[in-house]
Amino acid sequence: MQFEYTPIPTKAVFAENAALKLKDEVEKLGCRRVMIACSAGMVKRIDHIIESLGPLCVALYNGAKPHCPEQVAMEALELYNKKNADCIVAIGGGSTIGIGKAIALRTDAKFIVIATTPCGSESTPIYGMLIGNQKKTGRDVRVIARTTIYDPMLTTGLNAHLTGTIGMNSLAHCVEALYAKDKNPVSDLYAIEGIVALTKGIKGSILNPNDLNARAQVLYGGMLSGYCVNLAGIAIHHKICHVLGGHHGIPHGESNSVILPYAIAYNETAAPFAMEKITTAMKTKSASGGVYDFARDINVPKSLKELGMREEHLDIAAKETVETTPFNPKPVDFQSVRALLQQAYEGIRPIPY
Q: How many CA atoms lie within 13 A of 126 on its CB side?
A: 17
First to last CA, the chain: 29
The secondary structure of 4-70 as a DSSP string is -------EEEE-TTGGGGHHHHHHHTT---EEEE--GGGGGGSHHHHHHHGGGEEEEE----TT-BH
Rounded CA-CA distance 105/140 in Å is 8
DSSP one-letter string for 132-155:
TTEEEEEE-GGGS-SEEEE-GGGG
225 vs 286, which CB is nearer to Fe ion?
Answer: 225
Name the segment binding Fe ion (CB under 5 A); options: 165-173, 193-201, 280-288, 307-315.
Answer: 165-173
Burial 4-38 (b: 16+ CB within 10 A, else e): eeeebebebbeeeebbbbbeebbeeeebebbbbbb
Mark the segment that binds Fe ion (CB under 5 A) among 19-27, 78-86, 163-171, 326-334: 163-171
Give the interface segment with Fe ion, choosing from 52-60, 161-169, 180-188, 208-216 (CB under 5 A): 161-169
Give the x-and-dash track for 239-268 against Fe ion (CB under 5 A).
------------------------------
Cβ of residue 2: shortest distance to Fe ion, in angstroms?
28
Only one of the segments 8-16, 162-170, 190-198, 338-346 lies at the binding site for Fe ion (rule: CB under 5 A); that segment is 162-170
- Tell the smallest beta-carbon distance from residue 147 to Fe ion (Å): 23
Q: Which is nearer to Fe ion, 212 or 327 (CB)?
A: 327
Count of residues near Fe ion by CB under 5 A? 1
By CB under 5 A, tell whether 169 contacts Fe ion: yes
CA–CA separation, 195 vs 172, rounded Å?
9
Query: Least distance from C-beta 238 to Fe ion, angstroms?
Result: 6
Q: Which of 344, 248, 258, 259 is nearest to 301 (CA)?
A: 258
User: Which CB atom, from 89 or from 244, has the smaller least distance to Fe ion?
Assistant: 244
Report the nearest approach of Fe ion to the CB of residue 163 (Å): 16
In whole angstroms, the minimum distance from the beta carbon of 237 to Fe ion comes to: 9
- Choose between 155 and 169: whose C-beta lies nearer to Fe ion: 169
Stretch that binds Fe ion, among 45-53, 169-177, 196-204, 327-335 (CB under 5 A): 169-177
* Cβ neighbour number for residue 266 with a 10 Å cutoff: 29
Report the residue number, 88 or 235, with the smaller CB distance to Fe ion: 235
- Least separation in angstroms between residue 252's CB and Fe ion is 6
Closer to Fe ion by Cβ: residue 123 or 169: 169
Q: What is the smallest separation between the CB atom of 191 and Fe ion, expressed in angstroms?
A: 14
Beta strands in the chain, from DSSP E residues, in sequence order: 11-14, 34-37, 57-61, 87-92, 110-115, 126-131, 134-139, 147-150
- The binding site for Fe ion (CB under 5 A) comprises 169
